[in-house]
Structure 1
Amino acid sequence: MDLKMDFLTRLAKALAKQFGDNCEIVIHDLNKASLDSSIVAIENGHVSDRNVGDGPSMVVLDTLTKKPEEIEDQLCYLTEVDGKMIKSSTIYIRDENGEINGIFGINYDISPMVAFQKEVKSLISVEPLENDESTHIYHDVNNLLDDLIRRAVKLIGRPVKYMTREDKIKAIQFLNEHGAFLITKSGDKISNYFGISKYTMYSYLDKELE
């Protein structure tokens, strides 16, 4: 075994060990008398169901139809093998004259990851809120109350100083429906914000808007 092939074989073993059973590393020798058995080394051959002594892939055959100067390494492209989704890279081995005499291939079965990606996407998908408001988890309930007041003002569509009595009733009832009054001492802050007394504020809770 020459030094180049020795290195490539050891590299194949290292990559297969590093990335696990789903990573196939294959070496083709294009100088063999018969290309029917171009594979001279392979790790994790179960990925493509191939062994040492098996014949060339379509990539190998395509290589032999082109001029060496027209050929470039092909990295991270998608192939399909018996229903598996394979992420592949093809690196061409050249001699001192630039002639291609071998191929170093990396084939990674990403089918399990694609399936997992679909499961995760399904798991994390959410439906938009009807009021188009995203929920936020606050560490301080005062910040939560501030956010509820902001949403109440947004619902009315005008600053407090321009709100009518009916506007304020609607805002107060919105806050009640969203649990603002469950926050300790929220009544003081809400009544001050809307410029009304606490008595008036609580009377708004019982009002029916026309």
Structure 2
Amino acid sequence: MPEATKRRTAKRASEVEDRAADAVFAAVLPVVDGIAATFGRKCEVVLHDYRKEDHSVIAVSGNVTGREVGSPMSSIGLALRRQGDAAESDLNYVTRTPDGRVIKSSTILLRTPDQHVVGALCINFEVTELRALGRLVGELAGELETPDAPTTTFSKDIESVIETVITEIEDELGHPVSRLTISERTEVFRMLDERGIFQVRRAIPLVAERLGLSRATVYNYISRSREESDPQVP
């Protein structure tokens, strides 16, 4: 098949997929305000379009995480997006914001009729006061306290999301990523890749700067970590 014909075929397929995705978002959009109104001021509903890698939020109702239209997805969303069509919705998980508020969330993936993941409907409900009340009741009933929730940063810009993920990895390592040993570097790149960071084009220069590496070296480590994770990768 001639190259020009291949390009036209690919373009038509992309246009069909885009129309299918647009139809999904048009159908889900009225639900955003409805859910938020039902559960009140402690609830926030966010609609993400995964085709917009670093500004995926296309609708918001409520204000729990402070995001707005044009904000990026969180590290949780990036990790799900990286899994592509194999990803599954993440329901009823609990995280904590950097300022200490506890959020119970569900990330419901949105698919076209061909089962391609194109976005997500995220429901965030602040349960800080409910958890405090629950602990009080638990103490009175002699129950043990539940484990703490992991911290998740919700941001209005993708740079903050990337910086937060790097900081989390530094905490796991116990030292700054600028002081990585050679043996640690591939593992760090594997961790960053698993969390979906390298789906964002602007991540490469940011990671390169934080690690004190050239962009070419960053690309090299990404390839190496993927080859070690999956030897079948060419």
1:20-42 C-alpha deviation (Å, 9 max, x unpaired): 1111110100123xx22110001
Deviation of 1:123 (Å): 5.6
2:49 corresponds in structure 1 to 29
TM-score by length of 1: 0.53
In structure 2, distance between residues paired with 1:55 and 1:93: 17
2:160 corresponds in structure 1 to none
Pairwise CA RMSD? 2.1
1:40 corresponds in structure 2 to 58
Deviation of 1:14 (Å): 0.7
Deviation of 1:60 (Å): 2.0
Change (3 A) 1:14 1:124: same
2:110 is equivalent to residue 93 of structure 1: yes
Kindly indicate which of the two structures has a greater share of residues assigned to helix. 2
Conserved in 1, the CA contact under 8 Å of 2:104 and 2:125?
A: yes
2:131 is equivalent to residue 114 of structure 1: yes
Of structures 1 and 2, the larger Rg is shown by: 1
- Counterpart of 1:77 (choices 93, 102, 120) is 93
In structure 1, distance between residues paired with 2:34 and 2:84: 31
1:9 corresponds in structure 2 to 29
In structure 2, distance between residues paired with 1:2 and 1:73: 20
- Residues 189-200 of structure 1: pairs in structure 2 closer than 5 A: none
In structure 1, distance between residues paired with 2:84 and 2:141: 49
Deviation of 1:12 (Å): 1.1
In structure 2, distance between residues paired with 1:73 and 1:124: 34
2:38 is equivalent to residue 18 of structure 1: yes
In structure 2, distance between residues paired with 1:63 and 1:119: 35
2:72 is equivalent to residue 55 of structure 1: yes
TM-score by length of 2: 0.47
Identical columns (%): 31
Change (3 A) 1:62 1:2: closer
Structure 2: runs of 5+ lacking an equivalent: 1-20, 143-234
1:200 corresponds in structure 2 to none
